Structure formats: structure tokens, C-alpha cells
Amino acid sequence: MVLEGHFRECGCVLKQNKKGIMFFAVAFYTLELLLGFVFLVKEQFTVDQVIDIGLLFTLMALINFFPIKVKEHFVVLANTISLAAFLHFGFWVEVILTQLTMLSTWWRYRLTSWEWLFGQLVLLLVTSFSAAGVFYLLGGRTGVLLSAPFTSMFLPILGYLLIIFLFNYFHPYVLKWFLEDVPLGRRGNIWQEALPVLIFLPIGALLSLLFAQNGRWAFFYVFFPFLALSVILMLFYRLQEIYQKLQVIHKLANGIAAQLDMGLVIDRLMEAVGRLLPYQYCYLLLVDINKQVLKPVRLVGDGILPEEYQRFMQTEVDLQNHVCDQKGQGNEINERYFRGKFSFLRQQKSVYSIPLLYDQQLYGILTVTHKQANQYTKDDLPLVEILAHQGAIALKNAADYERTRRRSERDELTGLYNYRYFERGLEEMIRKSNGPFALILLDIDYFKKVNDHYGHLAGNKILRHIATILKEEVEERGTVARFGGEEFVILLENVTEEEAYRWAEALREKIASTPVFIQSDLAPEDNREHAHYVSVSMGIAMYPFHARDALSLIRQADRAMYMGAKRKGRNKVAVYSNL
């Protein structure tokens, strides 16, 4: 634990002085390469030696052209065969060849920024320097592989290969830790990541021996097997990676197939994206069918200022100006509405947006971004499209369920909650109540006469008129529902009896003074709309003072309404305690 603490403390100091370390690395790297080129210029190589070095460079470049990707980093195997260059031509030739052949990997994949490339080159230089140092410390000599006794060369070569193995395994993690602040932590299965290096190291040693015995013909003996093995290992690890990602998609599909909660579906989808693709930021836009806009529902990433986060989540994209049925359209929306307007997205060099489509219906757009260029390859995109399709199905199921649930809880005519929902809500309030609340029962006066005189369509318009006023007045203070027929019920939380009475009186006065314009369906010749004023009678019962269970509370409010308001002339508010 003490050593671990010292290590973390040293790590913090290193990262705090990142610029200084980079400057030192540039100076060290430049000096080493200058010394190497000076040596190569002064060394008088024969034509045969130049040809042999060129063959070694070709083989190493081709091997590096097919790097093996293991857990988000690339394993390059050229320096496992650089042993031949080192044993026959010395340290500087091996260094120059290793550095130059690394460029073939970078050129093919455009893997990262210059910082990452330079970090790779510096660490490879350190690897070459360390391996050569161990080789010489153990008594090894270059250029004398066949003439030197086997026992005198075995241990130095073994030490050289061991250093190559260790640096190949650890340097990607060190680089990610230094440049991206990724914790060094546990690295998982060491054998899975070390297998390619372990396979190629003895082959590299064999190439050195064959080269010493047979000259450049050794390249032709091992060229095609070496290259084929490199390609096979690359494909093997790629297929293994695809298989693991397909497992993630399969697990997601199983996990959300029966999941009907929209929030949990979104959480599972975002989690799956993080396991499929590396990203700096990931955000999900969902379609609001009523407004015909795309609205952000999730934004994941570090270093986002609170004010930018709030502004981002309030951004809306008008769907009338976009047809988001293609990947390019998603990227266009990202560029137009998000990337140029938020500072945390401007430095992202890799951006991929994909529409969540099912049965030609758009449900949302998923976007991942990364600060490194060319982070997302064409091989990754089909898997993301499969994930997006599964996510669209899950979002559709959750939206359908939510729509059905809302319909089952709402009164079709007024849009208010129905009696079933109100009854459950009342039971829940009684069970969890931390203070008094009021139940107000409201009945429209003379509603039957309105139906008889104007018709039921006019009566329905009055019901919707009352419902609109109730929604405006109640808002977040409580719950309003249609109780049945022309009756409505209101639950007001955390109010006293006096407060409930004053609020109900104000509501009664507003209803009585607000006209509703109706047309008589029973007199077709009269198409004019008439201003009609409606009055209501209300009864109030307080929990827990007037009743301690739901049924009794409703009964007391009903008594207050009929005995205290209806029987006393209507258009009144009555409280149960005043009967």
C-alpha cells in the first residue's frame, strides 16, 4: 500500500508537469535520432548490407501495416523481429528501422493526433534503448551471432526479448494514462493481450538465426509465413472483438425487450454504446411527436460547464426542416445545431450520428464524438446500426406503453385523470401523507338542463371548459380528475381548512364569471354561439380531521357538497365541519 501511494503521488507530479515532460521527450528523441543518423552516415555499409537492411525494413513495414487491435489499443509486432536487425547491424540500425516502420501503421489508420504518434515513437525508442542496454549488460555482442558460443548469447538474447515483451504490453496503457488520464488500474487478461507478442518473439529469434546462417534467403523463407500469421492474428482478434460487441447487442436486446420504462431503456442504450465505441461525449435526441421536434434527453461526458449543459438540454431541432432517414442527415443536424454552438464539442475530431429508425419511423438520433481523428472505422458502424435498430424498437415499445398507460389513466373527453387513477392516487396520499390535505368535490349546477336545452355536444363543451379552468388553477398544487358525469374531484396537498376554502371560493368565482360559447344542436336553424355562464357547487373534506380512509373522505366531501351547497341554493362552497 505504501508503494502504491508513492506511485500515485509520482504519477500526479508527472501529469502536473506534462508540458515539461513533453519538452524533455522531444529533446531526447531529437538527440537520439540525430546520433542514429550520424552513425549511419559514418558507417560504411556494403551494397549487400544495404539490401539486407532494406529487406528487413520491408518486412517490418508490412507487419506494422497489419497491427492487431486488442482492447482499444494496437499491438504492433515489428519490434519483435527487430532482433535480427539489432544482432546483425547494431543498435542504431534497429532504432531507425523501428521508428520508420511505425509510420506505416499511423498512415494506414490515421490513428491519433501528433501527440499520440510522438508518444508511440518515444516509447518505442525507450523500448529499443532499454532492450539494448539489458543485452549489453548481460554480456551480449552484436555481429557475432554464429561465431560466439551459444551459452554466451542465450542469456543476453533472452533478456532483450523479455524487455521487448514487457514494453509491448505496458506502453499502450502508460500512453493512455499520460495523454488521456485513463487510470492504470487492472488490465484484465494478460495472456489475451500478450499472446501475439509471445508468438512472434521466438519467430523473430528464429529469423535472426536463419539470417546469420543463410543470408538474405532467410527473408524469403519466413516472409510469407510471417506476413500470413500477422494477418491471421489480426483477423482473429478482430473477429473476437466483433463477437464480444455482438454479445453486448444481444444482451441489450434481451435486457430491454421486456423493459417498458422509457428512462431505463435510455440508460441501457447509453450503457451499450459505451461498451461498443470509445467516446468523449455521447448524447441522445428523441422525437417529441406532439411538437414535431428533436429534444436532447441524455448527455454523457466530462468537463461540461453547468450553463452549457442546461443550454444543450434546452436545444430543440425542428423536424419540419429535416428528413432524418439517413446517417448524413444526422451529422448535418449535429453540425448545425450542436457542434458549432457548444465549446466542449468544438474540439471533437471524430463525430458519428445515426438515426434510430424502425419501420421508416424516426424515434431519435444517437451521436458519439471523440477528440481523436478517425476514431470510428467503417467496420464499427454496422454494429452501431444494429444497436440503433434494437434501441429504436425498445423506444417504440416504451413509447407505446407510455401512451397506452396515459390513455388508461385519462378521461378521453376532458384530458383529466379518470376515477381509477384518482382512487389509486388518493390511497397513495393517505399512506404517505406527512401533513393534512383537502379533497374537494365539484358538481356543475343545472347541467341536465343544459343538455336538455342545447344538446349533449354543448354539454361536452362545458365539461371541457371546466376541465381547462381546473388544470390552469390546480397546476402543481395537487391533482384534478373527472369523478364521473358532471362531477370533478381535486386533491390539494399541504393546506389548512381555511386555505382550502379560500382557494375553492376563488375557483368558484372564476368559473362563474368566465363564459363558455355554445351552440344549440336541438335548433338547427339557429347556428349562433351563445355565451353561457356556468356555476358550480363544491364540498370540502379534510384529511385526517374529517376522515382517515379514502372512502370516508369522499363520502364526507359529497355530503358537504349536497347538504352545504346544493340544498342551500347552489353556486356555493361548503366545508364538512360546518354542516
Strand boundaries in 406-544, DSSP class E: 437-444, 478-484, 487-493, 516-519, 529-532, 536-543
Phi and psi at 38, nearest 5°, equal -60, -40
DSSP percent split of the chain into helix, strand, coil, nearest 5 = 65, 15, 20
Q: How far apart are CA 162 and CA 176, in angstroms?
A: 22
486 is catalytic: yes
Query: In this structure, what DSSP letter does residue 564 have?
Result: I
Q: How far apart are CA 184 and CA 200, in angstroms?
A: 26
Query: In this structure, what DSSP letter does residue 417 have?
Result: B
The answer to whether the CB of 545 falls within 8 A of the CB of 553 is: no
Of the candidates 32, 94, 193, 486, the residue annotated as catalytic is: 486
CA distances to 10, 187, 474 from 5, in Å: 9, 19, 59
DSSP 267-298: HHHHHHHHHHS--SEEEEEEEETTTTEEEEEE
Q: Which residues pair with 282 in a beta bridge?
A: 300, 368
Count, in order, helices (H) and strands (E) of the chain: 19, 14
Tell me if residue 74 falls in helix, strand or coil. Answer: strand
Core vs surface per residue 333-361: b (16+ CB within 10 A) or e: bbeebbbeebebbeebebbbbbbbbbeee
Angle, alpha carbons 25-26-29 (nearest 5°): 80
Angle, alpha carbons 550-556-562 (nearest 5°): 135
Closest of 499, 491, 457, 497 to residue 475, by C-alpha: 491
Spatial CB neighbours of 322, under 8 Å, sequence gap ≥ 6: 329, 332, 333
DSSP H helices in 285-380: 306-313, 327-334, 343-346
The residues annotated with a catalytic role in the active site are: 486
